[in-house]
Each structure stands twice: as C-alpha cells, then as structure tokens.
C-alpha cells in the first residue's frame, strides 16, 4: 500500500470485528510512528496501549460509572470553540447528520443518538485502544505535533490492514483514564484511538464524510 492509498482508504471506523490484532502489528506501527516530525524534535507524545484483559477491565470500569455520569467528567479543555462559526459549524452539523442518517437514526430520536454516541465508550468494539497524553507544560504548538503523530499511526495502521477511529470522546473521561492508567500528574489526556479490523458490512462504516472543495482550502499565489 502506498501513502496515497493509505490516505484514501482511511476513514473513522465505528464498528470493528471481534477479531484479535497481532500485538506485533501494534508494536510495528508505534515503532515506525516514532519517526513523526515535531517542532524541535521534542516528541511531545505519550502513548498508552490497552488490549486484552486490561481493555475488558477498563470498559467495565467506565460502564460502572456511566449511570452516575451520563455526560462524563467535567472536561479539562473544550473540544470546540464555544461558538463555532461558519463554515465550520455547518460542516460539523452535516457530519453528525450524515452519520446518524447512515444508520437510520432520525433527528428527533435523541435516545438512539445518545446510545450511538455511547458506543465510543466501548471503543466501537475494537480490540485495541490507544490513549495519547501530553505534558501539561506543553502549549498548543505541541498539541498540533501530537496530532501529526496520531495521523502517522492512522496511516501506518492501514498498511497493516487495520482501521482506526480517533476518539476525543475519551477526553470526557479523563479522570477515569488517568486513574486506570496511573498517569503521572504532569500528563494530560488528549485523545483515544480505537484500532482493529473494520466490520465492512456495518452501515456505519459504509458512508464517507465529504470535504470542502480545493478552492475553499487552498490558494495559490503563483504568477
């Protein structure tokens, strides 16, 4: 698989097969992803891998806390600006609408939408979950570099025949994650990532997000 194919075939997979992932494949991905660039080569990422019994115990812990915390824990950071302006607001809205339409959940059916959102907390059935954390002393610049590292992981996963879904949803469970992983105080959870084999037949994996046209995103300043 070349890079263009990895980019083209990556999508946010929200239903995984109950099929184990070879730990060696995860190791290869994370080993190769170390080559990701970062300003000053500070390599600000800290990655934690969950699988097997640890994954089962973690999921059980989250489920045991869910009834008392249906919205998760008070966030440490805002995922979106308080007021998302155009065109970003409409793009976000469309993404949500398209997702729920793909699985036949109408706009009015809030409980069904919440149930689907809660699938995040089951890693969408993925056998492997990654957590990414940053040193609290880091600024927004280093957060961007962690994002580049995460994208490298997502593309390398394609080469292994695996799919992924980045999951900011886990930031609403930062206390539980911190406790479970025994994260040191100086680290702050940013994001999770589900990794596994896609259930290609599941309707939630059969739609694709669109993208703004090139002329909305790219401006050439050539003569």
Ligand X SMILES: Cc1cc2nc3c(=O)[nH]c(=O)nc-3n(C[C@H](O)[C@H](O)[C@H](O)COP(=O)(O)O)c2cc1C
CB 15 within 8 A of CB 124: yes
Contact residue for ligand X among 120, 152, 176, 205 (CB under 6 A): 120
Residue nearest to ligand X (CB): 169
Q: What is the dihedral of CA 135, 137, 141, 147, to 10 degrees?
A: 10
14 binds ligand X (CB under 6 A): yes
Closer by beta carbon to ligand X, 21 or else 121? 121
Closer by beta carbon to ligand X, 22 or else 168? 168
50 binds ligand X (CB under 6 A): no
The nearest distance, CB 217 to ligand X, in angstroms, is: 14
53: Cβ–Cβ under 8 A, 6 or more apart, which residues?
Answer: none
CB 165 within 8 A of CB 99: no
Question: Binders of ligand X among 138-197, rule CB under 6 A?
Answer: 165-169, 191
Q: Give the SS3 label for residue 163.
A: strand
Q: 210, exposed or middle or buried, with CB in 10 Å at 0-12, 13-18, 19+? A: exposed
95 binds ligand X (CB under 6 A): yes
Q: Give the SS3 label for residue 154.
A: helix
Closer by beta carbon to ligand X, 11 or else 180? 11
Residues that bind ligand X (CB under 6 A): 11-12, 14, 95, 120, 165-169, 191, 209
């Amino acid at each position: 698989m070349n890079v263009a194919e990895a980019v083209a075939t990556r999508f946010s997979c929200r239903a995984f097969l109950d099929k184990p992932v070879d730990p060696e494949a995860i190791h290869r991905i994370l080993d190769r992803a170390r080559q990701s660039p970062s300003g000053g080569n500070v390599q600000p990422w800290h990655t934690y891998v969950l699988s097997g019994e640890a994954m089962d115990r973690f999921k059980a812990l989250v489920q045991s806390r869910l009834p008392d915390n249906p919205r998760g824990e008070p966030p440490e950071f805002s995922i979106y600006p308080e007021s998302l302006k155009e065109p970003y607001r409409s793009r976000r809205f469309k993404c949500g609408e398209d997702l729920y339409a793909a699985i036949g959940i109408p706009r009015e059916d809030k409980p069904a939408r919440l149930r689907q959102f809660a699938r995040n907390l089951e890693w969408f059935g993925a056998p492997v979950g990654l957590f990414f954390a940053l040193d609290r002393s880091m600024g927004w610049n280093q957060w961007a570099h962690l994002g580049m590292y995460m994208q490298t992981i997502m593309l390398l996963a394609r080469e292994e025949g695996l799919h992924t879904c980045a999951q900011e949803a886990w930031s609403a469970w930062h206390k539980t994650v911190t406790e479970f992983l025994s994260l040191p105080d100086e680290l702050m959870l940013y994001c999770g990532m589900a990794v596994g084999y896609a259930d290609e037949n599941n309707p939630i994996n059969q739609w694709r997000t669109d993208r703004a046209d090139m002329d909305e995103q790219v401006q050439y300043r050539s003569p």
